[in-house]
Amino acid sequence: DVKVTQSSRYLVKRTGEKVFLECVQDMDHENMFWYRQDPGLGLRLIYFSYDVKMKEKGDIPEGYSVSREKKERFSLILESASTNQTSMYLCASSFGGSLYNEQFFGPGTRLTVL
Amino acid sequence: QQQVKQSPQSLIVQKGGISIINCAYENTAFDYFPWYQQFPGKGPALLIAIRPDVSEKKEGRFTISFNKSAKQFSLHIMDSQPGDSATYFCAAIRKGGYNKLIFGAGTRLAVHP
């Protein structure tokens, strides 16, 4: 059974703080993704990684960075959190090699920036 | 600007009824159209998916209808049940890239007993 876990379910941070969101998958997936989910906007891709140390910008990368030092772990970093980054953050992973491979999602981290 | 337009935003259906959610897209490079289901407090999970060379796909009570010329696709939930109450997202994946999902805005479905 595929498992994608995220380090926190809820997080409250202050404006200007550096924030780390961690994601771990246990299925040896090549691809990992970070999305943010906002009402009325669906899920939007922030960054993804198709291999260790590789990363590609998604549709809304501004204000975020990522790190993938190990295959199973993908971190999202908010260098200086701002109130407009208050959102639900979802991590996902999938096998590489095909467009049609299913993405498996974690339960999400609800981040509030005060 | 939403690349995949989804409607309605919310939907209320009586138990046993048919739930219909519609999506439309412009980009002809999209090559795969999955639907995801999300329950409160959970991440989305793949429900059903279709490729553009097929006009319909059915899995149990869930059916995707696909109209390639109109660039529209829809999810039909037959005999809707209270347990189907969730948020549904249509999505699309572009040919030639990694399997990056582009999501619609979501439809919150409530099935009343």
Taking only the tens place, the pLDDT of each residue in B2-22 is: 799 999 999 999 999 999 999
Quote the pLDDT of residue B77: 98
End-to-end Cα, chain B, rounded Å:
36
User: Best of B10, B35, B47, B100 to disrupt the A interface by mutation (most A CBs within 10 Å)?
Assistant: B100
Question: What pLDDT digit, counting tens, does each position of A16-72 carry?
Answer: 999 999 999 999 999 999 999 999 999 999 999 999 999 999 999 999 999 999 999
Q: What pLDDT does B1 receive?
A: 66
* Token pair belonging to A33: 């993704």
Residue B14 touches chain A, beta carbons under 8 Å: no
pLDDT above 70: residue B44: yes
Please check whether residue A53 is in contact with residue A69, taking contact to mean a CB–CB distance below 8 angstroms.
yes
Alpha-carbon distance of B92 to B72, in angstroms, equals 11
Site of tokens 């199973």: A72
Distance from CA of B107 to the nearest CA of A (A): 9
Q: How far apart are CA B49 and CA B64, in angstroms?
A: 8
- Whole-angstrom distance, CA of residue B84 vs CA of residue B82: 5
List CB contacts (< 8 A) between A98 and chain B.
99
A interface test, pick of B1, B31, B50, B99 with most A CB neighbours within 10 Å = B99
B55-87 confidence digits (pLDDT tens): 999 999 999 999 999 999 999 999 999 999 999
Put simply, whether A43 touches B (Cβ < 8 Å) is yes
